[in-house]
A and B are shown apart, each in its own frame.
Chain A
């Protein structure tokens, strides 16, 4: 009998890496933030999470099957990641149908209309967040006050986020100073653990940092974007704080509030919509940080991370063009005589 052997070009071995593994790695990294959101916002958080995930998977399936008529991709993990992140980006008391609209925008408009996984220009979750924010400003900015499940479920009251309090206070007539507002603002410990009002997934700094460290360890993300973004925020907001600490919040406040860490760790680092090289990523992160503070200080919205990331998403192709990897043998080597 003739032996038949497979013939293909080299290489003949492959790393155990796969897109699916990367996506599920991100899911694992989001577990701490999911647990914190359920702890502080109760079953409502669970409801939002489930609804968002199911809606995202459903729209991905529907569009693949009936519109694109391509291979079904719902188990590649990317729609699952989108679903969880979308839940992270909305308040836990958002009406269900709005979540479904958000899922349709994220999956249908921002992802599938560009051709699906890997082809989208903008971060799908942030497109949905901004869409919802503009369409339903009241619901998207009325945040339930966190009430840990250990204290029993009290009727959750709603309140403003720290950034909202700040924006409103500083913009009031006559404007208040930061020391006047301070009693209303949460302490650093609260923002660190997540005991503050805000979108479900963005409240707990510690949970987000844990997830980020895990992704760094698993090499799902690189340090460049989060570090350059947060550093820029610290330096830029620090300058203003140094000029007038009564009018501008301190850097730590900016770093720990709003979507800053969620954005830096989970949103800006999205592979598909961020630059390919280390240099490009540093520029991208710096740009996001700069724009965020610009919007927070002078913009109409209290929060600027989503807009900043989306704006920088738009220039990623340009950054990729400008920042090429260092080519071997193009610049002279160190010891070439």
Chain B
């Protein structure tokens, strides 16, 4: 068996860096299994057919502006924002719009999408496809935000919240810090890691662009200590830049959560039910910073992204630069095929990713990775009785009591769930990961959050 298939825990050079910062409450440290951290980003071949779902962001799905039979070029607008919290979608490939139909997306449901038959690779003329680094920021803050909005940027870490919305703090609120999230705390995933190693200068230009858009003087790039090469590289690059620092962090899941990252980096606590701007922070992923660079400096909308393909049985764990709309089956083929005993395909990491139903599911803006799990790892262990060990409570990064929340949700006592702050749950899954009785705590918490959320909204309407 090749060495890379063995479980490994990266050595941390914490000695060199002294006591490292991390967030305060709870947290876990699962096996990191960053199998693909040494695999350079490879450009993936174009798909024969691109499937572009219209609901790729958190919030309202986009509205198509093309129709069947239209010829499109790479970068051409396919669908426009459907509301305030929404994003444009651009053609990731050139060719003919075959149809606009329901397609299976990452949720497992059939939802509207644009299917393009690929023909050649013809780009819009205004997109600068050169690799030349452009560090000159000529646009002003408002123009930058417009550009980011036009380019259809969303949070690339997986939450897919439209980027431009985060850059427009509500009246009376002022950002003080931009925090760039290079934590990548999910086991297995390495797309952000590789991006920092290979596109560091671009990420820093993107960071400066975001700083300008937010009108902030200070930016901190948070990176976990299992990526010492990325920390050194980014520190080296950031040396000459004013206001940008790199903060090494102790490895701890879920440090990539916005609230946890802010706590770790600045020791500020976002109040319950509030957004990071409340404590003067805006958090953006390194992938988003890179996309900002491309959108603002190269006129390139969000049409491709880095996707990690990994798993214990995967022959060649890889990082691919893939066009949006590429079926994941093609990425798996490029990583030397679907292992025979694959029992589960996860879009994203093992802690927060979604189990996918088919190889036809396309890469979308929020696809950070594809994780293939063996049959034996695919099923849950049978649920036992709660032994009140309190491990769920001690690992909860939000200081909640998952055993209690899951129980009251199961019993339908949603008022109690609300009082016990169920809406603060960030669905990181640490409780369920830790539970010795293998209780599906997060399933019940999601149920409770859904119901409580609906009750709160209906209360708002009355």
- By a beta-carbon cutoff of 8 Å, the part of chain A in contact with chain B is 3, 5-15, 17-19, 21-22, 76, 78, 116-119, 271-272, 276-277, 324-337
Other-chain residue from B268, B355, B430 in contact with A8 (beta carbon distance below 8 A): B355
A12 touches B272 (CB 8 A): no
Sampled A-B contacts (10; CB under 8 Å): A5-B342, A7-B355, A7-B356, A10-B427, A12-B371, A325-B25, A328-B397, A329-B398, A332-B269, A333-B267
Instruction: Give me 20 other A-B pairs in contact (C-beta within 8 A), A10-B429, A14-B432, A276-B390 excluded.
Output: A5-B378, A6-B355, A6-B375, A6-B378, A11-B350, A12-B377, A13-B31, A13-B351, A14-B435, A18-B384, A19-B385, A19-B436, A272-B388, A324-B401, A327-B424, A329-B269, A329-B271, A330-B421, A333-B268, A335-B266
A328 touches B357 (CB 8 A): no
Residue of A nearest to B421 (CB): A327
Other-chain residue from B267, B394, B433 in contact with A11 (beta carbon distance below 8 A): B433
A10 touches B436 (CB 8 A): no
Q: Which 8 A-B pairs have the closest CB atoms?
A: A333-B269, A11-B429, A276-B390, A6-B378, A329-B272, A327-B399, A118-B385, A7-B355
A336 touches B268 (CB 8 A): yes
Other-chain residue from A21, A116, A326, A336 in contact with B436 (beta carbon distance below 8 A): A21
Other-chain residue from A10, A325, A331 in contact with B396 (beta carbon distance below 8 A): A325
A327 touches B355 (CB 8 A): no
Other-chain residue from B350, B375, B424 in contact with A13 (beta carbon distance below 8 A): B350
B400 touches A325 (CB 8 A): yes
Q: How far is the CB of A224 from chain B (nearest CB, A)?
A: 11
Residue B203 is within 8 A (CB to CB) of chain A in the complex: no
Residue of A nearest to B108 (CB): A7
Residue of B nearest to A3 (CB): B359
Residue count of chain B within 8 Å CB distance of chain A:
78
Residue B259 is within 8 A (CB to CB) of chain A in the complex: yes
Q: How far is the CB of B409 from chain A (nearest CB, A)?
A: 14
Q: What is the interface of chain A mostly: helix, strand, loop, or mixed?
A: loop
A256 to B391, CA, bound (A): 31
Q: How far is the CB of A281 from chain B (nearest CB, A)?
A: 9
Residue B30 is within 8 A (CB to CB) of chain A in the complex: yes
A329 touches B268 (CB 8 A): no
Task: Find chain A residues with CB under 8 A from B272 CB.
Answer: 327-330
Residue of B nearest to A2 (CB): B358
Contacts of B255-274 to chain A: CB distance below 8 A: 259, 263, 266-274
CB contact under 8 A between A328 and B398, given known A12-B373, A333-B279: yes
Residue B352 is within 8 A (CB to CB) of chain A in the complex: yes
A22 touches B350 (CB 8 A): no
Q: How far is the CB of A219 from chain B (nearest CB, A)?
A: 8
A22 touches B268 (CB 8 A): no
Q: How far is the CB of B424 from chain A (nearest CB, A)?
A: 7
A117 to B424, CA, bound (A): 30
Task: Find chain A residues with CB under 8 A from B273 CB.
Answer: 329
Residue of A nearest to B395 (CB): A15
Q: How far is the CB of B462 from chain A (nearest CB, A)?
A: 26
Give per-residue flags for B321-353: 1 if the beta carbon is below 8 A from chain A beta carbons, else 0: 000000000000000001000111110101111
